[in-house]
Structure 1
Amino acid sequence: MKKCTPKEQSGPFIPDNHFLIESLEQQKKEQAILLELSSIIAGAKNRQDLRTAITDQLPGLFGGRYYTLCLINEDGVTHSPFLYTAENNIPYRGETPIIVSSHPVNDGIFDRALASEEPLLIDLHTAMKASTVPRYIYRWFNAGIREMLLVKISGGGIPVGVLYLYGEKNGSFQAEKFRLFKCIADILGTGFRNILLNETMERQLREIRKYRKQEDSDAAGLQEGTKQHSDIKDFIGTSRGIQNILTIMERVAPSDSTVLLLGETGTGKEVIAGAIHAASPRRHNRMIKVNCAALPHSLFESELFGHEKGAFTGAIQRRIGKFELAENSTLFLDEIGEIPMEFQAKLLRVLQEKEIERIGGKGVIKVNVRIIAATNRNLAEEVKAGNFRHDLYYRLNVVPITIPPLRNRKEDIPALVTHFIRRYTSVNAKKAPVITDKVMESLMQYDWPGNVRELEHLLERSMLLSKEGALHIDIPGTDHKILLPDEERSFSIVPLATMERDYILKVVRLCNGRIAGPNGAAAKLRMPSTTLNSRMQKLGIKKEHFSIRGTLRKADII
């Protein structure tokens, strides 16, 4: 008798439910794992708790050996490890560790993981054939790693980092577990944000306790240029941006390298310059300061290089310039971007040759001066616009330090408030006021366009005007709003230089491009033609801007 095949058997076909049962069991296991991890990560209060949770669960669960959780840094262009396998478990080759400080976000690996919505599997042997390969790929490969499984970490819906899992052989990671890996990454996104918040709060509390415990009679810590300049480590600020700056300051202070401080007005560039000088071998000599924006153009050379008696009308005696005064010390050139073009070449020569010539002098004078320059301008853009010499820029830009504005490091506000309150409590012989939570919240929410200087002056004014007890602070823009007429409401604020440039252009066009002469723009503006030409050059006004005859009338001039 012929044996029937399944298709020939009578009755309905009953499928095998074994695969369906296994799939349901797998889903239950994954749900149990996610619930357990969620509970552990939610209870983690610091990095060590989170590291322990990940180390105990992730590598064995997915067949990996090591892991790294990297986050995008504040600069937005590099990433650094936030959590990684315990250091004694990381393989080394010679003296080079696997974990390094930072790498570019667009390194060909990290950015691919950020752009992928699903876990990304990387074969190291294949990755090393690319035209650009991150350094850590070679290091992990030399340590015996053959595969990496990467997944994007998001915080609040924004990509903030990548979780790396490393396998020692090809095929270490199974595709059916990728979905679970992605779910765990979502949980970690919430976990590490809580850790960062806790760390920030703990730093703020430590700073507040530290400054409250200091003696009120410690006047050295209350005067600018003394305590805060005596030790870089005493510099106020616990944010990541300030801590990075302090690290750079500690490294460059012992050297003679030129430092260029960049940042908005009021961020503390002069304070940082003083701290670098105080930590340098030149600290026993007074740092010489020059505000380049406050010097008339005609006095630049005399102020910096000095002059001999009779060198020019009014030179009734010899004058020693700032470079000579700063011998074996530091010369701080504040607002370096304001130096006129005609003087920039002379300054460049001094920086290159380390020698000066007094006006009217007959020989050169060797100088041993360390330069620290500062500006609130974007010098790179000034170079492109032709307002700053590119060779002088590169001579100054040896060690650039960009100081973040206060609105980008608000976690430093509590410590700064405590510091300034203590300063003006001592100066004004007043009892320290109480800072309520509402006041502190208002200070934290304000954007501080004037940065630390604005905060300091606001606290000084508030302490003078407040009675004993709670401190009353009027945050700019929050109270005392004035109703303006319609004409003033439509008024828009523009930089003063922009208004001056537009006005000069109107006058020059009205004069058909003529600068000198009785009917020229200089005569109408009541200034020498040489001064007007210099001002136009500084404002970037060129001949092509007014060469075409305009149709302005006299009434067009304000």
Structure 2
Amino acid sequence: MPKNPENFELLVTRMLDQINMGQGLDELLDSAYDQLSGIVPYNRIAVALLEQPFNLLRLISCRSDGDVALKVGYAARVAGSTLAPLLETGQPRIIDDLQEYLAEKPSSASTALIEREGMRSSLTLPLLADAKPIGVIFFSSRTANTYTQSHASLLKRLAGHIAISLERNRLVTELQRTNQELADANKVKDKFVETLQEEVDKQTGQLRQSERRYRSLVKMGQVVNSSLNRREVFEHAAEQINRLLNCDRVSLVLSSDDEESRHGFAIEFDGDDRNWVEISSQPLPDSAFGWVRQNGQPLVVDSLNQSHSFPEHKRLLETGFSSVAHLPLLSRDQHVGLLGIASRHEDRATQWDLRLLDEIGAQLSVALDNAAAYSEIDRLKEELHQQNVYLRDELHTDHDFENIIGDSRAMRQLRVAIEQVALSDATVLILGETGTGKELIARAIHDASSRRENLLVKVNCAALAPNLIASELFGHEKGAFTGATQRRVGRFELSHHGSIFLDEISEVPSETQVMLLRVLQERLIDRVGGSEPIEVDTRIIAATNRDLKSYAEAGNFREDLFYRLNVFPIHVPPLRERREDIPALINHFITRFSVRMNKAITRVDRRAMDGLMQYDWPGNVRELENIIERSMIVSRGDTLAVDASWLAGDTEAARKPPSLEKTSLAEIECQAILDALSRSGGKVYGRDGAAAALKVKPTTLYSKMRKHKINSSRKHSSEEVALS
């Protein structure tokens, strides 16, 4: 039970008096801290208030007889804390032993800080105003088991009065702030009313001048924006300025990329006559242009007779002009040029409306900048058009790059190699005879790689002139050589983040090979005529029909470049080494050309097929494609006929006259199986079996035999099977 309850009642009465007298929280807590001594045991009293909308408890006051670890200003979230139930229920909380409490709930950081101060027990009461929690008050003791429910009941009354005081202080503070805001608003209103009349008087005085200036600027805006040619823009502006100011000369000096000099032009007025004058190169130092640019303000000279320190002024004086004004032309914080206005009479420049001239200069700057931008856009548009023409030619080619036709062992190995290298960024060297489909392999590698969403740019090195190949590959700067009228982006830059296919790489000149070597080593290129290296991220795929290693050893190709290219070589077999793929290729080409030519070819002349199978195909797949296309053009009906004279090998089949017998691809396959079985005596497995003769797996052969209903134990004499 608390000691001296009479003294406690006296303390409560005094606190009510202090609240009624308007004393603040600090005075109340000081009074409570001092007068509770001997009534309630404590060594520390603290108050924390709720802050909305973040639902935080922030410590606003603390009285202790020792060092304080939990300091004023400390804040913690209520949600999930041990104080949340207390604020929800409005009931006090007694902790008999803080050390045991922390052992059970070590996550209470604030309790741990109080325990660090040496406190062993605590009593926490909610502060309620209008039955709503506004904070808590903490009583702590250095002795365990200090507080009882009697203490809680007694101190609950004290907590209620403290809560009333806090809420009252909050309301008073808000009222004072509102009153101050109203007072400040009244001061602003009074000041506004005072200045409003001044502004009305000022605006009334400037209205006529502004109206005249506005009309002049509207007219100037219409004039200078009537053209996108800088010379025409200036001519229109000069005529308008002459009418407004009655001046005798208007000049324009344009900014340029050359920081050492500027040039421009002027119009001199003499009655109705207009005289164009070209302004020669203007040195930047010690010139009017340089002074205006450096100081960023107009330069006005009323008498050139008394001041002609700049070369431009001396020339103006010599040609009969007596006063001049120079204004800077700025657009997007960039210097566009210098506007000059001159008169043959002295003391004219200071009479001109410089504010109007500034606004005219601003409009002229934008018009000149737009004209220059339009010229640049027009140039870039033309460059983009040229690039699009190239890209359409390079990318929209008449090939089916998603399928590599053929199921021979060589083609299966080729597909495995493509799959192995595609997902890496390794350089690939494709080796093979002309017409074997090296570009098709390059496209298959690119399409299977992570770069598939970007460009595959192809370059036929043999088709480019030796003196132009460097410019084509790496681009060039304007003026790099005769005919280089503008900067050009090279094909390596076009293939950035994509792939580049260098066909016929052996035909690259030796001086360009050095540049290619740098790309492979450092991934950097230099435009022809450029001074800054450009980083490129491109995957290089090269191809050649030569034995590049022997070619390099003979001194015709750089060996270091060969070894840089030869990271992952892929050999594309010639068609004569994979004859079993010829029927599938023929079927593929017939299907494609049938759609294009609107023909329905379903059969192949047997003798023609024999000739196609026996021919050595020096032009490989490309030659086969051309033969099939030519045959499709001349063939009638549903049978593909091939003129034997088209096969340059002059084989026995080519010398025979074409047969009218209709043969399908399925028939050819069936007949080939029957012939192989006949030669092997019906044997499928083994070195002398039919599967080995046809260069297929025995299981594959059995599958095809079931398809054609062939039994190896009996002889067959099939003549026709429809084209599948």
**Of the two, which has the highest radius of gyration?**
2
Shorter-chain TM-score: what band? 0.3 to 0.5
TM-score normalised by length of structure 1: 0.45
